[in-house]
Structure 1
């Protein structure tokens, strides 16, 4: 016999046909039907109609359907007790049990930049990641998700923005985003003078009321560290900082991870590791952080006579998060990851009748997905990039496909080796792009490294 309900293999659902069959057997038993008889009559000789069109059969089917729904509900209740299978409100309750709430998303919208007094023939670029704010105290800060290019003939440009903080209180009304962060403007837009740049939002920003998906919330709950004295807890604390994409920790001596067998065995006043350490000397471990472009790595220096910067840097927020979980006497050396721009050069042949511009855009969207998965030390695989081209409808042939990379910083010293290079590096046909231990690939569909030519056969 099959066991139903809670078993060693989990919850086994009793199907509708089994429920109906059991109901039919009960009716036959109650009414005294000779189950071994073949004439289909009860013990008194009266016929029992249990065919599919009989009233008794219909009543049994209705009852069996109701019982089947109850079994489904019991199955949901059983699996709602586990993070890996719970969903919706049940997943929220499991998060409440461990003190990890579901997070809100970021408010998003559009801002409009207006340029006044431009020089003739000059193109003014407002870079991606420009910080704009409201006039509230404290201000609500947003970062642009694309670059705006302005000139004497194109004095306005609309660009998407995303809030740098989560929550519904970041949803703002129309025409309330009117300030370009002074610290950002001093560093990145100082050469605009004598031209002036203003900003406003032509519509409200929305999305702060939305919450993260079950999949994202489940991943955070599954990786929740149960102790504050391990590297896992440090990694979790850093990943919870808005703007952090990935993090890698390096603790070769076990000073922060008490689960290691050698924890507590390091003699700080003897030359066991090539250098003498004195009693009371702090212990440092490395935290490598890859962050989103919208958040600056360091808090911009305040501009004299202006309000304080609207956005706190990733470094400062990561440092504060690590301080809450690190052991006494153990300190974090926080290092910015190398964000490596990657791109592709290829010649694509398509069938006659296809929109080449739309096809190119579809290819770049697919490439953004394919290259968005790798994190620190990841690999951009040639085969995946080739599939992004070849699997598009209308593509006949792909030739001269090369993966490209451009380091954003040269010769920077970190705890992982970064080769010093002076320009775009183009891999050979068929060669993968392998990121170093401190590198993370960043693909920009409108970047200078993308050179995709689409020709019609």
Structure 2
């Protein structure tokens, strides 16, 4: 082996000895032991024994490589990644059970449409101990006299195999959630699981688990440490921490009008005096803010319980709900002849919703991202004159500058939709803000 041929642990990682190198080394040792005239042709018995041993040796090298890379979070996989997670106190989470549910309406009023938004909470009938399983719809449904039934996909609120209910299991609207979010009147909604639910007994992927492990803070009280705990709460889509004394205090309306050269911007906190900071939380669609609004635990209460365990003495959180900004669009679609117009529209709306749902607090909606998402649908040739729209968010308790209240907007072609730090974008496929005109080529 020359000085350049280094195998095993090296500066750039682990170098595996290839099968060709192993075979060559074994043949060299065989000639040294039995002489240069030993028969090492492909048909000889000795050659076959050496080749079989070479494959076993190569597998051993590969196992050593796997063991080496299994000691690092960035490269570990499967059980090795689980062991590293145990060291950090963060286990691999189970997925939420998912499955289709058939919805049917009864006792409805003639001429009225009943919209069940994304996030509608459905629960099973109470067990003997009063416990129920809760599920949230992942799509909106509209029921009426003309369309008395629909099928929507739902996911379990709680992770784990308990949500893997069997086909034919009856569900019903969560009465408390419906009372706070719907106006059903005398109408009743019946729900039945169409298929056996799945994924509840499956762990999250290595990529997702690895990202969570890499985000584990190594300190006790920092914004990053607290944010990691808040983001792990059920029902939290995103969160942001505004710490006045830990950074620039942009929460006050006087920010930007201060005369920095003439007076101090913010005084230091006295030892022992109470100190408050803001946590702005964006909840997933349909998730209740306070407990009591649904059989599902409220996001506010769960976040508060987590923060209580992490905050130092005399430091108190002010947990605030983020403003949900409904985003829409108006555009002209050029599609190829032979494609179903409604199917193309539905695919585009799904792609745009997926793109918008990935945005975090304060991140605006880029015109180019929506165009690219729309063009991923099969049959779309071009997207022309696309204008983004926004509904004004409901006025909340927070104001970090830049929020727009009091009316809807339609932006110019090519203009990006900007959001304030306490706003988060939300796109609903059933919103009236989506206006798509189709041109057939």
TM-score category by the smaller chain? 0.7 to 0.9
Q: Which residue of 2 aligns with 1:186?
A: 179
What's the offset of the Cα at 1:385? 2.4
Q: Which residue of 2 aligns with 1:299?
A: 291
- Equivalent in 143, 148, 160 of residue 153 of structure 2: 160
Q: Which residue of 1 aligns with 2:348?
A: 363
Q: Which residue of 2 aligns with 1:6?
A: 9
Matched, 1:126 2:116: yes
Alignment partner of 1:75: what SS?
A: helix
Query: Conserved in 2, the CA contact under 8 Å of 1:107 and 1:168?
Result: yes
What's the offset of the Cα at 1:415? 4.3
Q: 1:74 to 1:274 in 2, by over 3 A?
A: closer
Cα distance in 1 for partners of 2:234, 2:284 equals: 9
Cα distance in 1 for partners of 2:353, 2:226 equals: 29
- 1:154-187 CA-to-partner distances (Å, cap 9, x unmatched) read 3333332222111112333455444432222322
Matched, 1:456 2:440: yes
* TM-score normalised by structure 2 residue count: 0.87
Cα distance in 2 for partners of 1:362, 1:148 equals: 16
Q: 1:385 to 1:132 in 2, by over 3 A?
A: closer
Query: Conserved in 2, the CA contact under 8 Å of 1:164 and 1:295?
Result: no
- Equivalent in 401, 409, 413 of residue 386 of structure 2: 401
Q: 1:438 to 1:351 in 2, by over 3 A?
A: same
Matched, 1:147 2:150: no
Alignment partner of 1:380: what SS?
A: coil
Q: Which residue of 2 aligns with 1:262?
A: none
Equivalence map 1:240-319=2 (5 Å): 240-254=232-246, 280-301=272-293, 309-319=294-304
- Equivalent in 311, 323, 327 of residue 308 of structure 2: 323
Query: Conserved in 2, the CA contact under 8 Å of 1:344 and 1:449?
Result: yes
Cα distance in 1 for partners of 2:222, 2:237 equals: 20
Cα distance in 2 for partners of 1:424, 1:174 equals: 43
Matched, 1:218 2:218: no
Alignment partner of 2:29: what SS?
A: helix
Q: Which residue of 2 aligns with 1:27?
A: 30
RMSD (CA atoms): 2.6
Q: 1:444 to 1:125 in 2, by over 3 A?
A: closer
What's the offset of the Cα at 1:214? 0.7
What's the offset of the Cα at 1:390? 4.0
Cα distance in 2 for partners of 1:192, 1:227 equals: 49
Cα distance in 2 for partners of 1:30, 1:54 equals: 16
Alignment partner of 1:70: what SS?
A: helix
- 1:78-103 CA-to-partner distances (Å, cap 9, x unmatched) read 11111111111111111112221111
Equivalent residue pairs, number: 420
Alignment partner of 2:331: what SS?
A: strand
Cα distance in 2 for partners of 1:123, 1:351 equals: 33
Alignment partner of 2:333: what SS?
A: strand
What's the offset of the Cα at 1:317? 0.5
Alignment partner of 2:157: what SS?
A: strand
Q: Which residue of 2 aligns with 1:424?
A: 408
- Equivalent in 59, 78, 90 of residue 88 of structure 1: 78
- Most deviating of 315-324 and 110-119: 110-119
Q: Which residue of 2 aligns with 1:264?
A: none
Query: Conserved in 1, the CA contact under 8 Å of 2:403 and 2:419?
Result: no
Task: Give 5+ residue unaligned stretches, structure 2.
Answer: 248-262
- Most deviating of 360-369 and 242-251: 360-369
Alignment partner of 1:374: what SS?
A: coil
- Most deviating of 236-245 and 427-436: 427-436
Cα distance in 2 for partners of 1:26, 1:239 equals: 59
Query: Conserved in 1, the CA contact under 8 Å of 2:402 and 2:419?
Result: no
Structure with higher Rg: it is 1
Q: 1:24 to 1:276 in 2, by over 3 A?
A: closer
Query: Conserved in 2, the CA contact under 8 Å of 1:164 and 1:294?
Result: no
Q: Which residue of 2 aligns with 1:334?
A: 319
What's the offset of the Cα at 1:70? 0.8
Alignment partner of 1:433: what SS?
A: coil
Q: Which residue of 2 aligns with 1:266?
A: none
Query: Conserved in 1, the CA contact under 8 Å of 2:122 and 2:174?
Result: yes
